[in-house]
Structure formats: C-alpha cells, structure tokens
Structure 1
Amino acid sequence: MSMTDTHLDELVPSRYAVNVSDIEVLVISDGVLPITASTLATNTEPENLAGWLHDMYLPPDVLDWPLNVVVVRSADRTILVDAGLGVEFPDFPRAGHTVARLQAAGIELPSVTDVVLTHLHMDHVGGLLSDGVKARLRPDLRVHVAAREAEFWEAPDFSRTCMPPPVPEVLRSCASRFLSEYRNKLRPFETEYEVAPGVLVSRTGGHTPGHSVIRLASGGEQLTFAGDAVFAPGFDNPGWHNGFEHDPEEAVRVRVDLLTELAATGGSLVATHLPFPSVCHVAAQGDVFRCVPAVWDY
C-alpha cells in the first residue's frame, strides 16, 4: 500500500500524510457539507456569532463545513477512523468522497483491518453504507465503537439538540441502518481500547453519549483525532454549544479538557470539521485557546 504516491486530478489537495514516529497517518477530505451558521453557537447572542463569522471571513448564513477522516497504519493494522458521508445523499453533492480518495491514495478497501467510529452521525458512518462498500471489506473486519454509542442509537434522545427539522430523523435512520448492517462486525468497548500499538480509542461522551477520540502515541510524538469534540469556534469560544451536541454542557467540559490537555502536551490535533488538513497545535490563552496550524511537512 502506498499512502502518498498516487494523485487525483484535482486542483485542491484532498489528502495529507503525516507521521507520528512509527505510526503513519493520512488525513483525507471527504469533502464539504453546507451547514446553517446558527447551529455553530446556539447559546450566545446572534451578534456574537455574526462577529465571529465576520472575523473569520466566513459567510453569515450558510457555510461549507469541512469533513475529514483519517487512515492510521500501525504494525500490521490499517485503521480507518470514520468513513465520511457516503454518496447516497444527493443534497450534499460535494461530500462523500472517502472511498474514491482511499483508492486514489492506493488504499484498497480489503486492506482495511479495522474501522474506528468516533460516533454514529451520518457524516461519520455513511461511507460504509454506500452501494458495494460492505462487500469489498474483508470478512474479519473489526468495527470499534463505544458500547454507549450503539445503545444510544437504539432509541436516540434529541431533546437537547438544535438541528434543522429534517435532520434528527435522517440521523436516526442512518444510525439504525448502520447498526443493522454491521452488527456482526462490531467490537464495542466501554471506556477505551488499544486498537493497535500506540492507537488508543477513548470514550469522551458529550457530543453523543458514546462519542470517542483516538490518541496516537509513538516515539515521544502524539496526535489526537478529536472527531466532533472540537469545532472551529471552539478554540476562542469553547463554551459555545453546537446544535448537534446531544449533551451541550458535557460537550463543553470534554472540549475544554481536551484542549487543555493538548496545550499542555504539545500534541497535534486533527478534527473532523476543521479546515483540511486540520493538523494543528493548541495554545492556551487564559480561559480560551488558539489554533496554531502545523507547518506543512513536504
């Protein structure tokens, strides 16, 4: 498998390779999703969010929401962390590219030994539901997800979320379909599980009850894939609630704890919805934080 040599005929790069000592990491852009800007901060005055969007040179009403997944190679394991949206959502034509971009990077689906899911929202599992994908995956594939996450989606509670009206039902049906189709491949864990040497998945809760992050550690280097624990406004406004968070107060605690940890350790951060390739460091500034983009490694 080559993670760096094959190129897509695209003007904008869609994959970025970085090493964590002996662990290979490939960040892949699944594309972008349109998102209603108001869902980025549901507990602050509209003018505060409008000011942030203006300062970040982002549109005021609907913006493109980056969607990233990662491939991790440690020892003899090739691990896909999240799977993007998939191609079955025609309203989102600019997302759902994970499978094609894996292939363009020389990563064939049968080579994937493990899938780790940060949570079961459709933009994290949809790629596994696209036509023909499951049949191309190896029979002994292991899909790691927190037990609490699988349990939650049997009867999900959206009472504390703030999403556009059609979204909760789409999320519920997508998660239900995923659990039905992949139940025999699930390897649920309670609090944490070492998927491969230096690859630890840990349940955080907050965004969803079983939301998890993946910490990579090798040779004194560290990288954390934070899933949906950190969004772009969450550095300088960590207390803002995102409309997709099922427990907003707990999500704030998780976000602050994680950003505090990364600021202290100096470890790298990658997150699902930060601008591609999203590799950055975290600096603490009083009770808020600053995203320090990593220098690209050529």
Structure 2
Amino acid sequence: MQLDTIKSPGGSGSEELVPSRYAVRVGDIEVLVVSDGVLPLPTQMLGHNADPAVRSAWLKEMFLPQKAFDWALNAVLVRSGDKTILIDAGLGSDPDLHLPRAGQLINRLQATGIDLTSVTDVVLTHMHMDHVGGLLVEGVKDRLRPDLQIHVAAAEVKFWEAPDFSHTAMPPGFPDALRAAAKQFTKVYHNHLRQFDEEHEVAPGVVVRRTGGHTPGHSVVRVASGGEALTFAGDAVFAVGFEQPDWYNGFEHDPEEAARVRIRLLRELAGTGEMLVATHLPFPSVGHVAVDGDHFRWVPVFWDY
C-alpha cells in the first residue's frame, strides 16, 4: 500500500463533492487523515463553563451557528516500515443516536482501496464511541487480521469498568451510548488488547503517550521521522481550545485536568513547530500551533497537491 498512489473514490454511488482524505509524508512515514464524517452537537458543548455571552461572541467571530454545529470526526492511518496502523476507528453506527452523516470511516477506507486485512495495529486515543465504534460495525471484525494488536492505555480500560460521568455535560442519551459501546468493545476485542502504562512504541517512529484529562487513559500519538514530526492529539484539542484553552468540553471526564493537558500540549507543539492533527478540528485538521499572547493560534497548513 502506498498512500500517495491510492485510488480515488468513485463508482457505486461513492462519489463525493468534498474531500474525505488527505495524505501527509513525515520523513519516511506515510500518514493519511480520513474523515469519519461530522457529528452535530450543541455549541454549549464547546465550553460549558464559559459565560454564555462570551461563548456566543466567540461563535459569531468564527461565523459559526449559535445553537448547534457539525463537529469533524477524523481518524488517521499510518504506514511505518512493515506496519499499517489505524489511529482511532470512528463512530460506527448507533441507530438510537440518529447520526447518519457520521460513521463513514470503514466505507471511506474501502473506497480508497485500503483493505482492512492490511491493518496490523490499531491505536486508541481513548474508548469513547466515536473512537472505537468503527470496529463494532457488523462484519468488520471478520475482515481484520487474527493477530491484530489494539494498543490502549491500561488506565483507559480500567476506567470503563465503572466510568464516572459526574463532571461531564453531555446531551441526553450519550452517557448510556458511551457505556454500551465501551462495554461491547472490551467484550469483542479483549484478546487483541495490548495495554501500556505511560508510553509505548507501536512501530519505528510511532509512539503513543498517555496524557489523561479527557479520560484517565486518553493518549496522543507522535509520528516522527527524518527530522519531521506530527502529533495526533485525539480529543485533547478542540476548535475553541486555541483561543480559549481553559473552556471545558462537555465530553471531558476531568475538565480541569483536561485543560492543563491541553495547555501543556499546545505549548509543546508551539515550541517544536511540528504538525498537529486532532479528531474534532475541521478536516483535514493538519496545522501548526503558534503562541498568541496568553493564548494560542491554529495555523492550518497550505494543502499540498
């Protein structure tokens, strides 16, 4: 598989009017950002601890709707040496949540010409359903390799044995859906789990590191080769997190720690100048972090054709 020569989606009604994948090369490592679709959510989820008037002003400045807007859902495929690594697996399908524009990852990988049997490893930033759900789509496990390794922080697996939602601010139905997805995922894939404590090298130049915050086992993945680097931040960074890094996201199980993690990570990335990709930044979400006074600024890359 060469990510720069994969075929374009087409035929069988799979043609799209907007792009859903973006290829980046990090030294000798190939990275493909794939859109899993979008998730419509209330805007208060971006900062439920913020003054509503301040939040409303920020949304207006960003030309975003006041009540609800579409959160991007991004996953990443990495090729390093003889390993093909899927970082997060998208939402999958939950008919009770009525989210028809999300859960597109498996179809888009197939349309791109990527066979699931080529995936040697999966890395999970955490076990929220929009990161594990794609693996629970009917028939997917049968198409995966029997020796597939799924890398996840041990603290994350432990947390979902009895998850605490007391500090979250989610729409109705989401806590139950998250619990159910995590429970099903652990049951279906327990023999494939490769748990780590703080840091683990999945393949040459591909290192997953636990940050905590968003969930106790939330992790980020750094890809480095040839003096270049890219960090997939999972849910540590949201669109509002650059200008308002201390705003609490409704899905954060420990919002105070999540804010500390976010600020620390953004400072690191601003210092190194390496690329950033995150689950819920607008596709393809590839950019850099700049310091802007007491806050940060996201600088999207110019698309490379």
Deviations 1:23-82 (A, max 9, x none): 000000000011111111011110111111111111111100100000000000000000
Find out whether 1:130 has 2:130 as its counterpart.
Answer: no
Deviations 1:143-183 (A, max 9, x none): 00000000000000001111112111110111000000000
- Residue 12 of structure 2 is matched in structure 1 by none
- Residue 62 of structure 1 is matched in structure 2 by 68
Mapping of residues 159-238 of structure 1, within 5 Å: 159-238=166-245
SS of alignment partner, residue 78 of structure 1: strand
Query: Normalized against structure 2, the TM-score is what?
Result: 0.96
Find out whether 1:149 has 2:156 as its counterpart.
Answer: yes
- Residue 50 of structure 2 is matched in structure 1 by 44
Mapping of residues 98-109 of structure 1, within 5 Å: 98-109=105-116
C-alpha separation in 2, matches of 1:183 and 1:63 = 35
Deviations 1:183-207 (A, max 9, x none): 0000000001000000000000000
Please report how far the alpha carbon of residue 19 of structure 1 lies from its aligned counterpart in structure 2 after TM superposition.
0.4
Amino acid at match of 2:216: P
Find out whether 1:287 has 2:294 as its counterpart.
Answer: yes
C-alpha separation in 1, matches of 2:182 and 2:256 = 23
Greater Cα shift, 222-231 or 83-92: 83-92
Please report how far the alpha carbon of residue 87 of structure 1 lies from its aligned counterpart in structure 2 after TM superposition.
2.6
- Residue 6 of structure 1 is matched in structure 2 by 7
- Residue 38 of structure 2 is matched in structure 1 by 32
C-alpha separation in 1, matches of 2:84 and 2:114 = 9
Amino acid at match of 1:227: G
Please report how far the alpha carbon of residue 2 of structure 1 lies from its aligned counterpart in structure 2 after TM superposition.
3.8
Question: Are the aligned partners of 1:160 and 1:247 in contact in 2 as well (CA < 8 Å)?
Answer: yes
Please report how far the alpha carbon of residue 6 of structure 1 lies from its aligned counterpart in structure 2 after TM superposition.
1.2
- Residue 256 of structure 2 is matched in structure 1 by 249
| Structure 2 gap ranges (5+) | 10-14
C-alpha separation in 2, matches of 1:242 and 1:127 = 23
Deviations 1:114-171 (A, max 9, x none): 0000000000000000000001000000000000000000000001111112111110
Find out whether 1:271 has 2:278 as its counterpart.
Answer: yes
C-alpha separation in 2, matches of 1:46 and 1:11 = 35
Number of aligned pairs? 298
C-alpha RMSD of the superposition: 0.8
Question: Are the aligned partners of 1:2 and 1:105 in contact in 2 as well (CA < 8 Å)?
Answer: no
Deviations 1:211-267 (A, max 9, x none): 000001101001000000000000000000001100001000100000000000000
- Residue 97 of structure 1 is matched in structure 2 by 104
SS of alignment partner, residue 143 of structure 1: strand
C-alpha separation in 2, matches of 1:91 and 1:3 = 32
C-alpha separation in 1, matches of 2:114 and 2:207 = 22
- Residue 121 of structure 1 is matched in structure 2 by 128
Query: Normalized against structure 1, the TM-score is what?
Result: 0.99
C-alpha separation in 2, matches of 1:220 and 1:67 = 28
Question: Are the aligned partners of 1:3 and 1:105 in contact in 2 as well (CA < 8 Å)?
Answer: no
Aligned residues with identical type, % of pairs = 65
C-alpha separation in 2, matches of 1:112 and 1:187 = 15
Amino acid at match of 1:65: W
C-alpha separation in 2, matches of 1:275 and 1:165 = 25
C-alpha separation in 2, matches of 1:72 and 1:2 = 11
